[in-house]
């Protein structure tokens, strides 16, 4: 559905908190790009469906993620969520990046603690914050893929909760030969 909306013609800003009227309301001043547009020219039909823009942002974020630039990828995925809160791909992208960060840092908490319980707690938080919304907003086929992707993490969490997860045994040098 489309509706009339004020938009900066220079930078496509639609945030009214970053615009103000000047010269008695004759012009719209954009605080983002610092342009001045006559008010009659600032009204446009703005489509609420921003799918193409969101898909472009997600594609950029996925390229960043693929190249290992998780920090910037997360920022892009969050930009996509600002435009479309129901973007399962953005939620999933954040989950993948945040999980990669957690794995890189050895699933340590903010106090430097690690181990199966800490890892399980970190995974629970990541799944609740990011993977669950991705599953909720995705269609049934994609949701099933997401659920399959987190199945090992969920099994690990269940094993920790049941007390069946043992810390990995350290291999001794002689274990290689026997």
Residue 67 to residue 61: CA distance in whole angstroms:
10
Residue 116 to residue 161: CA distance in whole angstroms:
10
Instruction: Tell me the whole-structure pTM to 2 decimals.
Output: 0.67
Q: Smallest Cα–Cα separation from 131: which of 99, 95, 77, 78?
A: 95
Residue 61 to residue 71: CA distance in whole angstroms:
10
The yes-or-no verdict on residue 37 having pLDDT over 60 is yes
Q: CATH number of the domain at 51-162, please?
A: 1.25.40.10
Residue 78, H or E segment:
helix 70-83
The domain limits of the chain are 2-47, 51-162
Residue 85 to residue 101: CA distance in whole angstroms:
23
Residue range 42-57: mean pLDDT, rounded: 66
* Burial classification of residue 73, based on how many CB atoms lie within 10 Å of its CB (0-12 exposed, 13-18 middle, 19 or more buried): buried
pLDDT category at 36 given cuts 50, 70, 90 is confident
Secondary structure percentages of the chain, helix, strand, coil, to 5: 60, 10, 30
Q: Which tens digit of pLDDT belongs to each residue from 82-136? A: 888 999 999 999 999 999 999 999 999 999 999 999 999 999 999 999 999 999 9
Q: How many residues does the chain have?
A: 178
Asked if 47 and 2 count as a contact pair (C-beta separation under 8 A), the reply is yes
Residue 150 to residue 98: CA distance in whole angstroms:
13
DSSP code, position 170 = P
What is the rounded average pLDDT for all residues in the chain? 81
Residue 43 to residue 6: CA distance in whole angstroms:
5
pLDDT category at 33 given cuts 50, 70, 90 is confident
| Per-residue model confidence (pLDDT) at position 1 | 33
| Per-residue model confidence (pLDDT) at position 48 | 53
């Amino acid at each position: 559905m489309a509706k009339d909306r004020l938009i900066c013609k220079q930078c496509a800003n639609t945030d009214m908190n970053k615009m103000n009227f000047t010269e008695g309301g004759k012009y719209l001043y954009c605080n983002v790009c610092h342009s001045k547009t006559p008010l009659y020219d600032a009204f446009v039909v703005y489509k609420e469906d921003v799918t193409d823009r969101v898909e472009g942002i997600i594609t950029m974020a996925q390229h960043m993620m693929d190249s290992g630039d998780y920090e910037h990828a997360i920022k892009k995925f969050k930009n996509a969520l600002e435009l479309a809160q129901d973007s399962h791909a953005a939620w999933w992208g954040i989950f993948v990046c945040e999980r990669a960060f957690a794995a890189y840092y050895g699933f340590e908490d903010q106090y430097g603690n690690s181990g199966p319980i800490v890892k399980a707690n970190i995974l629970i938080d990541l799944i609740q914050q990011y993977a669950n919304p991705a599953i909720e907003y995705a269609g049934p086929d994609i949701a099933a893929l997401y659920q399959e992707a987190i199945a090992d993490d969920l099994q690990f969490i269940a094993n920790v909760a049941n007390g069946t997860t043992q810390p990995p045994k350290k291999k001794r040098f002689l274990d290689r030969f026997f």
